[in-house]
Amino acid sequence: MTIALISPKGVGMGRAEENTQTANLYSKLSNINSLQELMACPNSPLLTIASMAKPYFDTIEYLDEEVDPLDFSKGYDIVAMSFMTQQATRAYELAAQFRHLGSYTICGGMHPTSLPDEASQYFDTVFVGECENTWRDFIRDYQRGTPHKIYRNQAIIAMEQVPMPSYELLRMEKYRTIPVQISRGCPHNCAFCASTKVYGPQYRHKSVSQILDELAVIQRQKTFPHIYFTDDNMLVQKKFSLELLEAFQGQRMRWMTHTDIGVAEQKEILSRLYAAGCRKVVIGFESIVSDSLLHMEKWKYARLPQYAKAIETIQSYGIGVWGTFIVGLDHDDRSVFQKVIDFTLENHLYGAMISVPTPFPGSALYAQLEQEGRILTKHWGSYTLWNVVVSPKNMTAKDLEDGFSRTLRAIYSKEASHERLEYFKELWKRRQTGP
C-alpha cells in the first residue's frame, strides 16, 4: 500500500485582496528572519504518523506544499493531512481532488479536532485529538474494509510511547529550521488558544534519551541544525528542564522554543540556556493593556507589572525574547498600537509577532464571538492572525487593519532593526568577554 502525508499550504490562502495587502506589507519590513523561522518548517505531527505507518505501507511520502507543488498524477491508496485552521481551506480543496482520483482521505490536527463534523464532509476519516492509539484502530478497521468516519482519542498519551518522527523523509536542504516536539500540554488556559483541545492542560514529556536520539538523527542529516522545539510551554517543569539543558551541553545545534514569563524567575534554568544552544524564547505576552489581559488569562495578568523587568533579566543571559501580542481586543482602543510599538522598542525585544484577534475553532474566543455574531468570515484561509476576521469592539475593522500595519512597520523598520541588532551584539559580546 502507498500513503502520502501532506502538509497543505497555509500562506497565501486568504482572499485575493488579503493576499495582496499581506505581500505589500511584508515586502517593506526589515530583518524578519525570526518571523520566517516560525512560519516555515516541516509538519512535525505528520512525521510522527509516518513512523507509525511504516509497518503497514510499502511506500510513504511526506509532501509539503509550501516547499514543492503536488504531483496529482501519482496514485496513493491513502492521503493523510494534518492541518491548522489557516490551512483548512486548502486541505478541503486537496481532499476533493484526491478523493476524485480514488484515494482514501484521512485528516487530523487542530482544526479537524475542533470541527470534526465539518472536516468529515471533505475527508473519509477524521481523527479527533492525539492519534497514537486511534491510528492502530483505524489501520485494523481499514484493512477489514470497515473504517469509521471519526476516531476520538479517549486517553492521555504517554510521551515515552510516541515513536521517533521519520526525519529521513524530509528534504533537509529545503528547511533552515527543523521542528522537534518533546512535550504536550500547557497549564495555562488562554482564551484565544485551541491547543488544549488537542493536548489538554497536563504537561507530559519524552525522556531525555528519546530527545537526544531524535537530535542525533537530525544532526546526521543536517550539520549544525537550527531546531524549533514546538512545545506550548517547554520550560515549565524545572527538574526536567535542568536535566534536559544539562544533556544539551556541547550539542552542535542552535534552538528556540516557547515558554512563559515565569522562566525569568528560574535563574538555574536561565544560566544554562545559552551554553545548551538556546538563542531565542518565544513568550506570549498577549497584551500590555491590563483589562485586555485580565479577560484573556489571569495568570499572565498578575505578572503584567513585571513584564519589562522579566525581559531584561532573560535577555541579560544572552537569550533573545521574541514576544507575541494581540492588538484589537475588546478592551483595546486605537491607542493600543503605539503602546505595543513603544513597549517592544523600549524593552529591546529580539522580535515580535503582532496579531489580530483570531477566533480559532475550539477556543473560548471562538465561542464568545460566535455567540455575539461578530465573526465576519469563516473562510479559513483568512485565519492567518494578520487578516481581520472579526468585528472589533472599540474600533472599526479599518482602524484595526491600519493599526496592525503601522505597528509592524514601526517594529521592523530599518532603524529599529539596526538598533535591535546592535543591542544584541553588545549583549553577546559582554557574554563572551565577561563583566
For 25, the domain range is 2-152
CATH of the domain at 141: 3.40.50.280
Q: Is residue 293 part of a domain?
A: no
Q: Is residue 165 part of a domain?
A: no
Number of domains observed in the structure of the chain: 1
* Rounded percentage of the chain residues whose pLDDT exceeds 70: 95
Task: Enumerate residues 6+ apart whose C-beta is below 8 A from 336.
Answer: 287, 289, 292, 327, 328, 329, 403
Q: Is residue 231 part of a domain?
A: no
Instruction: Give the pLDDT confidence of 391-416 residue by residue, as tens digits.
Output: 999 999 999 999 999 999 999 999 99
Instruction: Give the pLDDT confidence of 311-356 residue by residue, as tens digits.
Output: 999 999 999 999 999 999 999 999 999 999 999 999 999 999 999 9
Q: What's residue 31's pLDDT?
A: 80
pLDDT band at 434 (very low <50, low <70, confident <90, very high): low
Instruction: Give the pLDDT confidence of 70-118 residue by residue, as tens digits.
Output: 999 999 999 999 999 999 999 999 999 999 999 999 999 999 999 999 9
Tell whether the model's pLDDT for residue 192 goes beyond 70. Answer: no
pLDDT band at 191 (very low <50, low <70, confident <90, very high): low
The β-bridge partners of 62 are 5
Q: What's residue 327's pLDDT?
A: 97
CB 342 within 8 A of CB 349: no
Q: Is residue 422 part of a domain?
A: no
Q: Is residue 290 part of a domain?
A: no
Q: Is residue 111 part of a domain?
A: yes
Q: Is residue 51 part of a domain?
A: yes
More confident residue, 31 or 20: 20
Q: What's residue 429's pLDDT?
A: 80
Closest Cα partner for 76 from 121, 124, 116, 30? 124
Tell whether the model's pLDDT for residue 27 goes beyond 90. Answer: no
Q: Is residue 159 part of a domain?
A: no
The C-alpha torsion from 93 through 97 and 103 to 108, rounded to 10°, is -10
Q: What is the pTM of this model?
A: 0.92
Q: What's residue 39's pLDDT?
A: 66
- Write out the three cell numbers for 378: 469563516
Instruction: Give the pLDDT confidence of 38-53 residue by residue, as tens digits.
Output: 667 899 999 999 999 9
Q: What's residue 277's pLDDT?
A: 96
If you average pLDDT over residues 287-293, what whole number do you get?
A: 94
pLDDT band at 360 (very low <50, low <70, confident <90, very high): very high
More confident residue, 428 or 227: 227
